[in-house]
Amino acid sequence: MEQHKNLLHTETSPYLLQHAGNPVYWQAWNQKTLAKAKAENKLMIVSIGYAACHWCHVMEHESFEDQEVANVMNQDYISVKVDREERPDIDQIYINAVQLMTGGAGWPLNVVTLPDGRPVWGGTYFKKEQWIDALQQIQQVYNESPEKLEEYAKRLEDGVKSMDGIQLNTEKSDFSNFDTTSLIEKWSRNFDHQFGGYKQAPKFMMPNNYEFLLRYGVQHNDKTLLEYVEKTLTLMAYGGIYDAVGGGFSRYSVDQKWHIPHFEKMLYDNAQLVSLYSNAYAQTQNPLYKEVVEETLQFVSETLTSDEGAFYSSLDADSKTASGKLKEGAYYVYTKKELQELLKGDFEIFKSYYNVNDFGKWEDGNYVLIRNKSNAQISEEFSISEETLQKKKKDWKQTLFTYRNKRSKPRLDDKTLTSWNGLMLKGYVDAYKTFQKKEYLDVALQNAHFIKKRQLQNNGALFHNYKNGKSTINGYLEDYAAVIEAFIALYQVTLDEEWLHSSKQMIDYVFQYFHDEEKQMFYFTSSKDEKLMTRLFEYRDNVIPASNSIMAKNLFKLSRYYNDERYKTTAKQMLKNVLAELSSYPIGFSNWLELLTNYQSKFYEVVIVGENALEKTKKLNKKYLPNKLLAGSTKESDLFLLQNRFVKDETFIYVCIDNTCKMPVSEIKKAIKTIKKIKIKWTN
């Protein structure tokens, strides 16, 4: 019978397909599975993870591939596998539940629920005996005293519903008087001034934190803050968390010095870091940042990009060793002997450059490449020019890249997620703005057209996923937020109003199906979606900014492009709603702080109209000017900011605040002088 087998072989998610051969009778989360649990009055096991998750693989090998474990699960439970990246709505509910139950959560996430999906027990990774013992005990309670589980489920449900609740702030708020200075001072107590980042391990990169701190430091001429941001970006790029051979960043480091990564590479990290390093280069001209962007985009192009121009999700942390055993980081590390044989006469310089010593040693005689010296220091140490060093470095990378490509490669999660594609699309746009490489714009446009063709429907609705020519899951707020932000950015480099109008169509759809009129925030799920235990608001920024914070920034910009009062008042109210919590936890609200900064200092609309508008747009975009949005056209336009501004045979630049403009000028330099001065120039 169908119920007595593993049903994951029909799924498209690489994570679910990894479990299709398990002896556990896994089923996917769908209405049929949920109805089956209710009809048979069975507890469910909801096990959540993702394809690049190392500890998910460990638990699979130890427990889910084990027949003894499978027998326990198959006898009493309906077992459901969920890809957290495909179903972030389900994941967040059970993450919240496990946090309430245990004080922490992560992946793999394993939860036991009542037949209706309400959780009663959960945790993360379990050893085989722990897992069996827990399941047997819970089943015994369910058989003998089901009312106890029902009572606990009700209390837990109430707790989960309150976790991401947010209230309408009806008090008057003067954004200009908000004490951001004290907030930064409090925040800075956690800064690690030795290695960058925060005083903790593991260390996540949190790119949006540094986007805000970079902007704040520049606009307030705060040299100490800018030095901290520079140190963080430099040491992340020096660290083992950055793939010195193949480009791209891993998800986080397990230590304080950014040395040993958790080796999976996620699209969303690399997307945001490309934007961050591009913006930092525009401000500093630090050649290291340019190198990071170029190499990371090369990695994305070669490894995470489909023929259709879509971006794949991730590379696994694990890969096979020479003996065929899956091991974390096996693809990326080297022994001293390997390096000596490969690099021959250059080994001594390489050894110093990448610390083939106690500083760079990992485990089992392996080294993870890490720098702690600049090119200038190495050049002086070995009495060679920086040009010679750069040539050697290029040769080293090619030698090691060719060598490691003979190894078994990490598994690829080749599903496409619309939200992450939006982030990567914006990464390419930001790189194009700074470096003006046409190939970056070409990739951005190809991806944008993919999204419009495959993921954006005629009514403004988005799909969340794409695999093998099919899109099956309705978009979440994160999809709309990221794509709208990327399309607005794309408009600002192409001046093609198609991208603005698509953004407006999507945002109007979001108002219709995601908006809560009472709280003036947006739900994570559409009102058209299946009803889960609760409907959440995602508003705290994390490794990826919250969908509500991105959406508020989108509304701020679109209100200016379309002179739309609803967009304008909604963005302000959303920011008001989070001010109290923002004050106590700035790390989790850095994208909201970016929006707040728009209200606290002058924010400019720069309008360029005339036959040379694109050329002047390119010059303006190369400058780091975070307190502006750009509109432009090479011809007459009905767009609000462009109306009645086209003059034949002239190209004029208007610098405006709330559409009140200075006299038009013809030169970019004069326009930039009108914008608030950015005086600091900090370099490596």
Cβ-based burial of 634 (10 A; exposed 0-12, middle 13-18, buried ≥19): middle
CA atoms of 392 and 347, how far apart (whole Å): 11
User: Which residues are registered as beta bridge partners of 416?
Assistant: 466
- 8 A C-beta contact, residue 310 and residue 299: no
Name the E strands within 302-456. Answer: 314-315, 318-320, 326-328, 334-335, 366-367, 412-413, 416-417
Q: b or e along 8-32 (b: 16 or more beta carbons within 10 Å of the residue's beta carbon)?
A: beebbbbbbbbbeebbbbbbbbeee
pLDDT at 682 over 70: no
Instruction: Calculate Rg over the CA atoms of the chain.
Output: 26
Which fold is adopted by the domain 2-163? Glutaredoxin (3.40.30)
The per-residue pLDDT of the chain, averaged, comes to 94
Confidence class of residue 683 from pLDDT cuts 50, 70 and 90?
very low
> Helix or strand or coil: residue 474?
strand
pLDDT at 352 over 70: yes
Element containing residue 43 per DSSP (H, E): strand 43-49
- 8 A C-beta contact, residue 579 and residue 174: no
The Cα-based distances of 196 to 181, 193, 269, 421, 591 in angstroms read 20, 5, 17, 28, 20
pLDDT at 651 over 50: yes
Segments making up each domain of the chain, as ranges: 2-163, 202-318+413-600, 332-406, 604-674
| pLDDT, position 174 | 86
Residue 78 phi/psi, 5-degree rounding, is: -95, 115
Q: What is the pLDDT of residues 17-49, one digit of tens each?
A: 999 999 999 999 999 999 999 999 999 999 999
Global confidence as pTM: 0.95
CA atoms of 475 and 34, how far apart (whole Å): 21
- 8 A C-beta contact, residue 139 and residue 41: no
Structure tokens at 103: 């004080």
Strands 652-657 and 660-661, by their bridges, are antiparallel
| pLDDT, position 680 | 38
Give the alpha-carbon dihedral of 267, 272, 273, 276, to 10 degrees.
Answer: 170
Confidence class of residue 3 from pLDDT cuts 50, 70 and 90?
low
Residue 315 phi/psi, 5-degree rounding, is: -115, 140
Query: CA nearest 14: which of 56, 74, 42?
Result: 56
Q: b or e along 420-430 (b: 16 or more beta carbons within 10 Å of the residue's beta carbon)?
A: bbbbbbbbbbb
Mean pLDDT score, 557-578: 97
Q: What is the pLDDT of residues 248-287, one digit of tens each?
A: 999 999 999 999 999 999 999 999 999 999 999 999 999 9
For the chain, the maximum distance between any two Cα atoms, rounded to a whole number of angstroms, is: 86
**Angle at which helices 146-163 and 88-102 pack, to 10 degrees?**
110
Mean pLDDT score, 310-337: 94
In sequence order, what are the residues at sequence separation of 6 or more whose Cβ sits closer than 8 angstroms to the Cβ of residue 150? Answer: 114
Q: What is the pLDDT of residues 51-95, one digit of tens each?
A: 998 899 999 999 999 999 999 999 999 999 999 999 999 999 999
How many Cα atoms occupy the beta-carbon half-sphere of 251 within 13 Å?
Answer: 18
Mean pLDDT score, 523-548: 94
What percent of the chain has a predicted confidence (pLDDT) above 70? Answer: 98
| pLDDT, position 162 | 84
| pLDDT, position 676 | 58
Residue 467 phi/psi, 5-degree rounding, is: -160, 135
CA atoms of 245 and 372, how far apart (whole Å): 16
Q: What is the pLDDT of residues 655-680, one digit of tens each?
A: 999 888 888 898 888 888 888 554 43
3-state secondary structure 73-130: HHHHEEEEEEECCCCHHHHHHHHHHHHHHHCCCCCCEEEEECCCCCEEEEECCCCHHH
Q: Fill in the amino acid letter for 57.
A: H
Q: b or e along 514-550 (b: 16 or more beta carbons within 10 Å of the residue's beta carbon)?
A: bbeeebbbbbbbbeebeeebbbbbbbbbebbbbbbbb
Q: Which CATH architecture has domain 202-318+413-600?
A: Alpha/alpha barrel (1.50)
CA atoms of 145 and 434, how far apart (whole Å): 64
